Amino acid sequence: MRVISIIAKPHAENIEVLLRKIISFLRNNNIELLFDKRTASIIKSTTFVEEEEIRLKSNLIIVIGGDGTLLSAARILKGKETPIIGINMGRLGFLTEIKAEEAINMLEDFLSGKASIEKRMKLDCKLMEDNTEVFQSEVLNDVVINKGALARMIDIELVIDGQFVNALRADGIIFSTPTGSTAYNLAAGGPIVYPELNSIIITPICPHSLTHRPIVISKNSKINISIKNNYENIFLTCDGQIGRRLNKDSSNDIIITKANTYVKLVTSSNRNYYSLLKEKLRWGQN
């Protein structure tokens, strides 16, 4: 373990104090550190590297912030399975599960080989316009097709493994990994799925018919989605961060499959997935 990159959320409360504490600990352990531009600005350093150098050189990435910051870091890796430690300085934090006060102990465990690493599946999403691929992304959480605020409901045709499944009218639809089951999927009424089950969750958003319910399918399935109406404001969004507006003058088809690579998350030995759910969702509290 020689090169560790740190990616931090600049405006998190008390971020500079924690960041300097982590930097001091790692340098005392003879670790070479890389910072992206935003992280360098927190400690008022002019030394930073570009994302590609982080991807190529890092043996570990430390994320200090919220789940959105970790999703950004996973996208920087572009399929490279470098472990990520997520330290929570945000609000809910299902992915950034390590508390700030646990950060140094977590790093000690990792450097000594005592930490656990979980492999989390991703989805691969392709957008086809008139049978030509125009957009591709891998996601750790979810792929979402939804409408703008003033648009009408979307007519969606769903085919799985070549078998017609459903034609539904809804505000949109979510395709989630088990990791993403506690994100938008949960808010839309979808199930919580244990991360190691490696399945795909399909959850309609405000369907016109109440009989259209969430469904969990095999990780090996190939999903084809056709959009049957051409409105100005229909969007494809990946992990809530990147995507594009669908072209109303083209046929729009989305293909979703399991990605070939995983994201490796370093997890705390002090809690299991169920205790994490209990803590984050405040189960058993009034």
Inter-helix orientation angle 103-111/15-28, to 10°: 30
Q: Which secondary-structure segment (H or E) carries 143?
A: strand 142-147
For residue 76, the model assigns a pLDDT of: 96
Domain segments of the chain as ranges? 3-115+269-281, 123-260
Residue 169 φ/ψ, nearest 5 degrees: -110, 130
- Largest Cα–Cα distance of the chain, in whole Å? 60
Q: Is the pLDDT of residue 152 over 90?
A: no
32-64 residue pLDDT tens: 999 999 999 999 999 999 999 999 999 999 999
Q: How many residues does the chain have?
A: 286
Residue 1 pLDDT grade (very low, low, confident, very high; cuts 50, 70, 90): low
Q: Domain 123-260, CATH 2.60.200.30 — does that match?
A: yes
Which of the pair, 193 or 232, is modelled with greater confidence? 193
For residue 286, the model assigns a pLDDT of: 64
Which one of 67, 142, 239, 253 is the catalytic residue?
67
Least confident of 60-64, 146-150, 172-176: 146-150
Q: Is 67 a catalytic residue?
A: yes
- Cα–Cα dist 78/98, whole Å: 24
Three-state DSSP class for 225?
strand
- Provide the residue type at 269 as one letter: S
For residue 269, the model assigns a pLDDT of: 78
The CATH code of domain 3-115+269-281 reads 3.40.50.10330
87-116 residue pLDDT tens: 998 777 899 989 999 999 999 999 998 899
Q: Alpha helix (H) ranges present in 112-234?
A: 184-187
For residue 270, the model assigns a pLDDT of: 78
Residue 21 pLDDT grade (very low, low, confident, very high; cuts 50, 70, 90): very high
Average pLDDT of the residues in 6-33 = 94
- DSSP string spanning 169-224? EESEEEEE-SGGGGTHHHHTTPPP--GGG-EEEEEEES-SSTT---EEEETT--EE
